[in-house]
Structure 1
């Protein structure tokens, strides 16, 4: 999507724009001309200059291991634990695969770990409050929080993580009686400035740049309101002029005021057998299209172009004739396709001739007079059934081209789902006025874009042949994802975590739970123990606790999300899990080795750490073709270089 920024063409995406802006900037600097489609990973780039964008994502992905190293080192003060954390990320085939493609994930993970590193480094400066380095790390934490949230909304999870740690930190400061309340308030103000105000300003600036660069009409226009579209160069509403008031004989488009719902639309396709009456489909469609055009006609008579102009007013009973097919907007006592308590809406009749179920009363909210283009909010009440024309926001199945469901709602109340406005208006018999007064303010644009993104995000559906997954699949590495190639003759890249690393992480989560409970109970009960064991327990609870909280925040919320999910959603949680594994293994080896004499104890500890590194390295040797590409027979063939490595039936490399 970086191509849109290079071409300055407006588009719609469910994620905030920072990642795409950075990719577009990298492409622009490296000479990419913005002409490639980027429909899926693994596409042949042909002669397009993509290396700048791909190199940029690789560059940010390469920071994950150093960030993990420094985070674990700050938390544990253990070089061996820090090296193990770095190794778990360096030799993970999944992280390598994600980082080598032009994707948002390496950018997101860069900012997430950047925020985590900033937080732990800031805490390490707690003995030097308000020093230069203290301010630097606090500000960098805020910068990375804005970056994480600016790439994807899941960046909110690291914001919560930093917020929890900040609240805990402030609570400790409040309990420190050596500090005056004035100093405590200074600490609070510093954190509000750097962790709230500064990130909010940066986040807002990201959208300001986004709107300033994407100032030309594009494929995303229809997701937004008419007022929003009026700011886009090339959009039919930009500096447009059209008749102000609706009249009979006018050709119009009706846009639902339900955010991201689209235009009232019909096409030649009929509802399938068993879905209400087998009449012409009526839907909402987010893109500009001739099939969005409707002609306003009186209840019982056709439009006569020789008669005096007659304006449409509040309370008029009208017909809406679909311009392309000549059928009237229609409803009847048949249930809607998806929302069963609503009635079906169809297009019915021939050349504007139908029946009494084609009659709708137009209600103008607020002003009980003429219908104003773009400004009037109207409702269409079906005369025969008393229901309201509405958009449910649900996507129809493939027979409905996955367009939005239109129904007649029996619930007579003011609701954006049953409110419409007239957007396009053509009537050669009326004088035009300028629509420039409708351009929204920046804050209105910012608010609308977030509403559209959040609603679209929650309503995402998988594309045909797209591999989705469930959260319980992820920690066990249950199923990977083909990035390129399918057959034995193809060059194949397969997104799958290094099984040894991922299953080690899973085991370490269990071990951490056991050790954590043991440590908590022992410390709470005052059990006699050596100073070394006590330090290990405190390290496990305090430092490990931050990492396990990070893992939980980046994993468990997905169980409550209604949207479709993919394997790559787990990778931020995997980073925290890997860092937790390094701390857990280090503590476990120390606790086990304490039963030996000091010399043997050190040897056992180092032998254990080295063994883990060798196992990780060997597992990477076995599975590295998943990331760097495989050619030849699939893994179920004895001639395949990956033969014997398909340890789970659900893997399909």
Structure 2
């Protein structure tokens, strides 16, 4: 049997190091196997040799980091125009609007700060992909994202090195991520993805490091890595809700860790309490405190009105400087003749809205559309009138008459002079609901324009308060209640939200409204300062709006959505820039050699892991080398496979629109699995089973070198996808990418 260790590079493959073990459940078995392997090995190297080895490790880490930065910053300035979602992320991060409130938080603030420090003045109008930046400075924002994206490679290298104790496995992992065109593309543009993946990998590395310090609990390194794990979790969640997946992984690891400690009878209950308290403080309290602090800073810095105000409640808008409700004074009670806006109480539904466009043929009655709209607009204005008169209530000769709970009213659309109307025609999208339209000429319609206004939980005759009263509109003829289904209308409805009249009278937020804007020159005004909500209220509301906003996302023109099963097989990419052969084209697609190798590795790991687990459970006595590799395989590989599973399979349950780039956090874990186990260790086992120790070591290193060179060569072939290409498309024999369109679904 060949020895487990030897000189040179392979010497560090299996030798245990103090404080460098994996999950604690396998620690005892790992020590026994490692001891047996060391007993069979040659003499330990001298101190000078160990120093040389340590210097070599640092040199390799520096080389990996340098190569990662070089590939990410190469041609970072190209193309000099907006690519894909840079139009969204950069506009939200613009220093000109840096104080305007938006739906996204810490990442936009960081990108905006990077732009401000690099000379971007915020005067560029981000309208659509393809618009040239010209003289505007954008490199600081791209550079910030590329800087964070560059750290993914060394983080993965260190994680795999700590889990496997194998330099070759760590180098292979680094090569897979360095030479992946997909990771490279995502890191070079102003997107949230490199920021999210940075925090995910930082959390994974920190978790592995504090696991490795388990034999030195409460030491300075243990506390450092445990705290850094909590900080990274807060960062990941602060970027996107996808950060919940890495939080779940760390939580499962912590539960398993505590369960093992609970079974260690040598530990006192006091020590167990310390372990539990430390994890609660660093992995729950610290992330929550940082996450809340991020929002507190956001609310303080971004305190001005912005285009997304309509997503939020009237009380929330009252705290935004520049909003018409901020420091405003409006009449307190609703009166006939008032010009008002009516806002739905369900978050991210918006204002009752109409416009001159009609419902298309075959969609109920061909009358004026009524929708809800999330933004401030003149088409949100309505005039409240009595149902049985057309006289002008604002005539000075008429006394003020307040609207009361139970009154029969008409709502006349101010811009088109059509009344809010309903009838027995079916709603456009929601079955068994009635259509709501705009009907009539100059306010003159029919009895289907009459609505009874009711205040929730109030008695008949009570006045209706602006902003505070929760009201419903009951259609007098059909008995249905006005509401919004929240469903997005097709393009004929300008992708606004459907308004229906529902015969189901149960009180829900979809059918409850409040009066927001209120204009009536005959009434005195009151201040709205008393309506400003508390910090917990705005924190909760902002999260509810973000969740609803994510679930309601729709693809833009020329965007390719995808399904989760497409992602691991690299079935379809995503256009970042350009379409025609005269355009500068960037195409988000993973390096197919890397991705298909990852897919093969997952299958190999599941197969080999199952065989080894069954053999060990049946009491089979494995050779020392095989046993040592098996412990590493089941121990570290399980962590990485869990990360891939948690970051991939939840997307099958999501109802929102999905894109190819959503898979890349999971791809990081599959690449680590490839480098760590499913390729490196099978190669080593096959080599040792077929040859003597010196020859086996050579075969193993030749196999690893072949994988490294093959990955680098595939990057050479496909690098134009990331760095840009001009000229004929791939199907043209004259194209530089001719012959590389291996799947018909690739569109470059």
User: TM-score scaled to structure 2, two decimals?
Assistant: 0.86
Kept in 1: contact 2:98–2:112 (CA 8 A): no
d(CA) in 2 for partners of 1:509, 1:36 = 46
The residue aligned with 2:424 is: 333
Shift of 1:367: 3.3
1:121 corresponds to which of 209, 223, 226: 209
1:292-371 map, 5 Å: 292-302=380-390, 303-304=392-393, 305=395, 306-368=397-459, 369-371=462-464
Shift of 1:635: 1.0
Shift of 1:44: 2.1
Moved more, 297-306 or 155-164: 297-306
d(CA) in 1 for partners of 2:105, 2:216 = 37
Shift of 1:10: 2.8
1:555 corresponds to 2:639: no
The residue aligned with 1:625 is: 720
1:532 corresponds to which of 621, 625, 641: 625
Moved more, 630-639 or 220-229: 630-639
Shift of 1:8: 3.2
The residue aligned with 1:238 is: 326
2:674 corresponds to which of 581, 597, 602: 581
d(CA) in 2 for partners of 1:572, 1:8 = 28
d(CA) in 2 for partners of 1:466, 1:408 = 34
1:178-189 map, 5 Å: 178-189=266-277
The 3-state SS of whatever aligns with 2:441 is: coil
Shift of 1:212: 1.2
The residue aligned with 2:307 is: 219
Moved more, 159-168 or 300-309: 300-309
The residue aligned with 1:167 is: 255
Shift of 1:460: 1.3
The residue aligned with 1:95 is: 183
1:376-395 map, 5 Å: 376-395=469-488
d(CA) in 1 for partners of 2:296, 2:502 = 38
The residue aligned with 2:45 is: none
The 3-state SS of whatever aligns with 1:554 is: helix
The 3-state SS of whatever aligns with 1:555 is: helix
Residues 128-173 of structure 1 deviation map (CA, whole Å, 9 limit, x = unaligned)? 1111111110011001100011001001000001100011001111
The residue aligned with 1:500 is: 593
1:45-444 map, 5 Å: 45-302=133-390, 303-304=392-393, 305=395, 306-368=397-459, 369-444=462-537
d(CA) in 2 for partners of 1:3, 1:363 = 42
1:650 corresponds to 2:650: no
Kept in 2: contact 1:99–1:106 (CA 8 A): yes
Shift of 1:465: 1.9
Shift of 1:308: 1.1
d(CA) in 1 for partners of 2:503, 2:565 = 40
Shift of 1:483: 1.1
Q: Where do 5+ consecutive residues of structure 2 fail to align?
A: 1-88
Shift of 1:463: 1.5
Say if 1:571 and 1:439 are closer, same or farther in 2 by CA, change over 3 A.
Answer: same
Say if 1:517 and 1:42 are closer, same or farther in 2 by CA, change over 3 A.
Answer: farther
Shift of 1:45: 1.4
Kept in 2: contact 1:12–1:223 (CA 8 A): no
Shift of 1:2: 4.9
d(CA) in 2 for partners of 1:2, 1:604 = 50
1:609 corresponds to 2:704: yes
d(CA) in 1 for partners of 2:99, 2:441 = 40
1:600 corresponds to which of 666, 688, 695: 695
Shift of 1:243: 0.5
The 3-state SS of whatever aligns with 1:594 is: helix
The 3-state SS of whatever aligns with 2:562 is: coil
Kept in 2: contact 1:2–1:27 (CA 8 A): no
d(CA) in 1 for partners of 2:626, 2:132 = 56
The residue aligned with 1:638 is: 733
d(CA) in 2 for partners of 1:9, 1:78 = 49
d(CA) in 1 for partners of 2:680, 2:619 = 24
Residues 562-617 of structure 1 deviation map (CA, whole Å, 9 limit, x = unaligned)? 00000100000000000001121111112212212111111111011011001101
Kept in 2: contact 1:342–1:409 (CA 8 A): yes
Say if 1:634 and 1:605 are closer, same or farther in 2 by CA, change over 3 A.
Answer: same
d(CA) in 1 for partners of 2:275, 2:302 = 40
1:8 corresponds to 2:98: yes
Say if 1:478 and 1:608 are closer, same or farther in 2 by CA, change over 3 A.
Answer: same
The 3-state SS of whatever aligns with 1:515 is: helix
Moved more, 367-376 or 260-269: 367-376
The residue aligned with 2:636 is: 543
Say if 1:3 and 1:343 are closer, same or farther in 2 by CA, change over 3 A.
Answer: closer
d(CA) in 2 for partners of 1:8, 1:349 = 45
The 3-state SS of whatever aligns with 1:477 is: coil
Kept in 2: contact 1:2–1:21 (CA 8 A): no
d(CA) in 1 for partners of 2:550, 2:594 = 31
Residues 379-414 of structure 1 deviation map (CA, whole Å, 9 limit, x = unaligned)? 000010111000111110000000010000111111
User: TM-score scaled to structure 1, two decimals?
Assistant: 0.98
Say if 1:153 and 1:538 are closer, same or farther in 2 by CA, change over 3 A.
Answer: same
RMSD: 1.1
d(CA) in 2 for partners of 1:452, 1:481 = 28
The residue aligned with 2:112 is: 24
Kept in 2: contact 1:42–1:483 (CA 8 A): no
d(CA) in 1 for partners of 2:659, 2:466 = 42
Shift of 1:38: 4.1
Moved more, 115-124 or 623-632: 623-632
Number of aligned residues: 651
d(CA) in 2 for partners of 1:545, 1:158 = 15
Say if 1:11 and 1:463 are closer, same or farther in 2 by CA, change over 3 A.
Answer: farther
Rg (Cα) greater in structure = 2
The residue aligned with 2:30 is: none
d(CA) in 2 for partners of 1:272, 1:491 = 39
Say if 1:33 and 1:322 are closer, same or farther in 2 by CA, change over 3 A.
Answer: same
d(CA) in 2 for partners of 1:155, 1:39 = 29
Shift of 1:9: 4.3
The residue aligned with 2:560 is: 467
d(CA) in 1 for partners of 2:552, 2:99 = 24
d(CA) in 1 for partners of 2:220, 2:99 = 42
The 3-state SS of whatever aligns with 1:325 is: coil
d(CA) in 2 for partners of 1:164, 1:134 = 19
The 3-state SS of whatever aligns with 2:242 is: helix
Say if 1:449 and 1:253 are closer, same or farther in 2 by CA, change over 3 A.
Answer: same
Moved more, 160-169 or 34-43: 34-43
Kept in 2: contact 1:4–1:34 (CA 8 A): no
